[in-house]
Each structure stands twice: as structure tokens, then as C-alpha cells.
Amino acid sequence: MDLMGHGSIVTIDVKKLHDLSHPRITYLLGSSTAPDIVEQVRLRVAASRGPVLIILDSDHSQKHVAAELETYATFVTPGSYYLVQDGVIDTLPMMHGDRPGPLPAIDDFAARHAEFEIDHERCERFIISQHPRGWLRRRTNP
């Protein structure tokens, strides 16, 4: 972003994980679905001129991912993406204790939100992926 001369990041976590800082990064402390946090993101999105990409990589439970997907959907700009991380949890035997995870949330969201499509080319670019069906593109002509 520094090389391009534009762009910024808003990142959210319930825990303060470090003391790093960068002028392009805003760290918000709280739950990604808490109304005051969502309002801060909404204001940033409203003030933004460029495309908005949203990456979901917090609590990977189906319930939380579903809530995040509904909460941030309108912030993703047409042609840009939701990246829902770690759907692989729902496919690996060794992670069965962490299910249901992101995949059923993605499938339910995609079935109800025709303005988004799963970008299979991007999802299946490599032989394996941590984020199956995780790239959701917001259509430009829904």
C-alpha cells in the first residue's frame, strides 16, 4: 500500500496481541459483531474512495461466521470480495472438534445472497486450500 500510495486496513480482535503500529493500520479492540465496532467500520467504509475487501478470520464457529457475513455484506464493494478463512476446518478429520465451522455458514449465506457468487477459479487455484469456497465475489450486476 505504501508503494501504491493509497490504501488502509482496519483490523479487529477481542485481544490486544502486540504493540505494533503503522499509519495505514487501525486496530479495533472488541468483537467483530459488536455494534460499536461495526459502526466504526461503517464510518471508515463510508469515507473510503476505493474498493473494500473484507476478510473473516476470527471465531470460526458457524454461528459467528454467519453473523459476520450478514453484518459486513453491504460493506463489500461490487467486484470486490469477502474472503472467509479456514473453511478447511469442516473438511479435515483432525479438526472435527471445531465444527460446524465456516463452510456451512458460507453455503447458507451464498444460497440467500444472490448478490454474491463463489469465485471457484480463485478458490481452486491451488491443489489444496485453507479456504474452500472462501472467496465470495460481490457481483457488479446482481
Q: Which residues bind ligand SAM (CB under 6 A)?
A: 12-15, 17, 31-32, 57-59, 64
Nearer to ligand SAM, 58 or 80 (CB): 58
Residues 16/29, Cβ–Cβ less than 8 Å: yes
CA-based R_g, the chain, Å: 15
CB atoms within 10 A of CB 139: 12
C-alpha cell recorded at residue 77: 464493494
Nearer to ligand SAM, 98 or 108 (CB): 98
CB of 106 to ligand SAM, least distance (A): 16
Nearer to ligand SAM, 52 or 115 (CB): 52
Closest CA to 103 of 118, 90, 93: 90
CB of 64 to ligand SAM, least distance (A): 6
